[in-house]
Structure 1
Amino acid sequence: MIFKYEVLRTRVPIGTLFVESCNIKFDSTANIKRAAQLVVNSNKLKFNTEYVKVSNSRRYTKKEIEFDRIKDRIRVYLDDKCLGTFMVCSSPLSTSDKTDNYEFEVYDESFIIDQSGLESRLFVAAGTKYLDFIFERLASLGFENIENDNTDATFLVDREFEFGKNVLELINELLKEINYYSIYFDEFGTIHLTKIRESLTAKHKYADDPKFSIISQPVLVDLDIHKIPNIFIGKVSNPDYPEMFYRKVNDDPTNILSTKYRGYPVIKTFSLDNIASQQELENYIDIEYLKCQQVLERVEISTAIETNHGLLDTVQIDTEDVKGLYKEISWEIECSTANNMRHSLERNVIDL
């Protein structure tokens, strides 16, 4: 098991960084989902050697390439598998009697989007496709490597976004309006725009086998079911929009939370400023309804380090104590010989 820290300049590998320690975290619920902390000795920011021709001479001299904390990117590999591509966002110097180390705080390149704001009020005409608008914003920041699900959803009315609006927040708000996940950068830095969907096919499987090293026990999180709504009402509160309203009622007499079983309503309302269409409003409320009809079980496990873990992956666990399909909410890797990867997983265990 070998960790490698490849340095990229303008997307081209130029050398390998010598890293003292590294910890990588991925959180599906965060705006910037992939982050890491790296410790690098201050004397090891120079690497590789290129030969430069001496002016007016046939001689060449050696020139070391120095890591550029602003322009360069760090791509972390486990053997030949990628764990993430990062940019340096903070690099305090820690000094001691024995050594001086840079403590790099690094993120995926959604950090660039998060640091960007609209330079002026931005007008968008009715009929503009949501994805076209999002692609335009990303292209203005230099991002063109995008994989996406298709949709024909358009702005129903003219829209205007205020000066200084955070671009990452804006994009994620628009993605929510068309029932997409928030923006996600994969391990190679490719952007993904993906529709919300449930997957019953496991991307990762862990069983009672020594190579998987599952060492933790499930933790069940209790919810107060008495506060779970049985009526869900969505309304678009915007004078520029056509009137949109959707009401979903749990009136199943066999369901202990329903209006008929309880004998009284528990109402939850959603007042939305914008939505792509009446159908997307109904999809939005249906998703919120399903969230509230289930009780979550959260599980923490530790396994051998694996690559290819992405956004809300489906994980199958089959051990003596834990069995079932789970959704991976977050994971963390300590890049060392300990070969340990910690996962936070969730699943719906009670369908009310």
Structure 2
Amino acid sequence: MLTLKQKKYSVKEIKEALHAKYGRRRLSFRFDLLDEEDNRLRDITHLVEADSSSVSMDSESEIHRTAKFRVRDVGDIDFLKDRIQPFVQLHMKDGNIEFPLGVFLLSTPQKEYEGDNIYRSVDAYDKLQILVDDGFTARLVADEGERVTDFIEDIITEAGIENINIERSDKEFPTWMNWEPDTSRLEVINELLDVINYEKLHVDEYGYFTSRPYRTPEQRSSEFTYATDKLSVITPGATATEDLFSVPNEFVGVVSEPDRTPLTYTHRNENEDSPTSIPNRGRTITTYLDADSVDLETLEGKVKKEAYERSQVYTEMSFDTAIMPMHSYNDVLRVNHDKLEIAGKYQEISWNMPFSATGTMSHTVKAVVAI
């Protein structure tokens, strides 16, 4: 989640403004045109119909961040090379705060005529699209002993990308690996990040390719609280679904390759606070994970990650709020909803935001559970 800490305003003041504590909120939207290296060219707010545009985040999709822009075409945007970076502006008493929402590559849709103007309804994608489109021309090979994060960064920079923020790891390839030329760069990168138990690669609001060691949401602090109190920004109509029947409570990870010593790790959910644990079910439901991991420590982390992700599916919640522009990738939230009798910690898996000050923002979250 984007930080609410600002030089000019306190976190408390910004939260109060977002929740309209002292009256109506004031939001506006700005759109910058960037070149192919993310250098700012100019402001194109006057060309974008904000009310007909929107931005979305889905952490479970291949391309996480997408947008739709309705743009008046006056002939000075190169839709093949230029990019758009939208911002939400929160107006305070004596100034405003800007929240960036991503850097987007543009499609080249058909022209639409309305009166004397030409418009384009543009589908736009974050910069992960570059790693899907820019393929390999030969078989890719990683050598035994090579540092995994160095290899990943090489794959990214070979696609002409410089803005990289991947936390460095000392993990090395325990044996050589290879991929066919028709495997996408993004697929290889995410496979390797999974091998060392890192987050999937994602692009932040400023256009940086980002990943870090995976931590379960249970290990992370809640970044924001939504509550149905007197300052609530939650709109009517929230839903919550539960599915406990098929959730496993024993997770067995196995690494078995001809040229390596076999590795196994088993995680048993025996937590009495977990409704799907072995004690609470009175039986064991086992699932197996055939995992590529560089060592036993990484395998343990991957099995626990799988246990967390498979256990959290039992509670999913969808709700709408006023526009809240600080949301990012896989945020951890606390949701207190009186009518649904919900009070807990959730991980956000997707959100959608129209560029409309009076619009509503949709959220889908999954419960953070003890495993």
Structure 1's 128 and 319: CA in aligned 2 closer, same or farther, altered over 3 A?
A: same
Aligned mates of 1:70, 1:336 — CA distance in 2: 27
Q: Which TM-score applies when normalising by structure 2?
A: 0.79
Pairing 1:69–2:79 present: yes
1:1-352 matched pairs, under 5 angstroms: 1-9=27-35, 10-17=37-44, 18-20=47-49, 21-42=52-73, 44-45=74-75, 66-79=76-89, 80-95=98-113, 100-197=118-215, 198=217, 199-208=219-228, 212-225=232-245, 227-250=246-269, 265-272=284-291, 274-294=292-312, 296-321=314-339, 322-348=342-368
Matched letter for residue 213 of structure 1: V
Give, in whole Å, the separation in 2 of the partners of 1:314 and 1:251: 24
Q: Deviations over 1:2-24 (max 9, x none)?
A: 21111112432222221122111
From the superposition, tell whether residues 234 and 143 of structure 1 become closer, same or farther in structure 2 (CA, over 3 Å).
Answer: same
- Partners of 2:305 and 2:173 lie apart in 1 by 21
Closer, same or farther in 2 for the Cα pair 1:215/1:264, shift >3 Å?
Answer: closer
Whether the 8 Å contact between 2:242 and 2:316 is mirrored in structure 1 is no
Q: Give the distance between the partners of 1:320 and 1:255, measured in 2 at CA.
A: 22
CA-to-aligned-CA distance 1:84-136 (integer Å, 9 cap, x gap): 21110342333467754211111111110111222101221111111000010
Partner of 2:3: none
Specify whether residues 30 and 153 from structure 1 end up closer, same or farther in structure 2 by C-alpha distance, changes over 3 A only.
Answer: same
What's the counterpart of residue 49 of structure 1? none
- Higher relative strand content: 1
Alignment partner of 1:78: what SS? strand
- In structure 2, the CA distance between the partners of 1:175 and 1:112, relative to structure 1 (3 Å rule), is same
Deviations 1:178-214 (A, max 9, x none): 1111111111101111221135422223334666521
Q: CA deviation at 1:74?
A: 0.6
Distance of 1:186 and 1:254 partners within structure 2 = 35
1:253 deviates by 9.2
The letter for the 2-side match of 1:35 is: T
Q: Which amino acid aligns with 1:301?
A: F
| SS of aligned partner of 2:214 | coil
Structure 1 stretch displaced more, 144-153 or 167-176: 144-153
1:200-239, CA deviations, whole angstroms, 9 ceiling, x for partnerless residues?
42222333466652113442322142x3334322222321
1:242 to partner: Cα distance: 2.2
The answer to whether the 8 A contact 1:296-1:348 is kept is no
The C-alpha deviation readout for 1:126-149, integer Å capped at 9, x for no partner, is: 111110000101111122222233
Cα RMSD, aligned residues only:
2.7
Count how many residue pairs are aligned between Structure 1 and Structure 2. 328
C-alpha distance 326-267 of structure 1, shift in aligned 2 (>3 A): closer
Q: 1: CA distance between counterparts of 2:234 and 2:268?
A: 41
Contact 1:211/1:304 (8 A) holds in 2? no
Give 3-state SS (helix, strand or coil) of 1:84's partner: coil
CA distance in 2, matches of 1:254, 1:309: 30
Write the distance in 2 (CA, Å) between the matches of 1:201 and 1:256. Answer: 22
Q: CA deviation at 1:300?
A: 2.1
TM-score (structure 1 length as normaliser): 0.83
* SS of equivalent residue, structure 2 residue 187: helix
In 2, Cα distance between equivalents of 1:206 and 1:264: 36
CA change 1:230–1:203 in 2 (3 A) is: closer
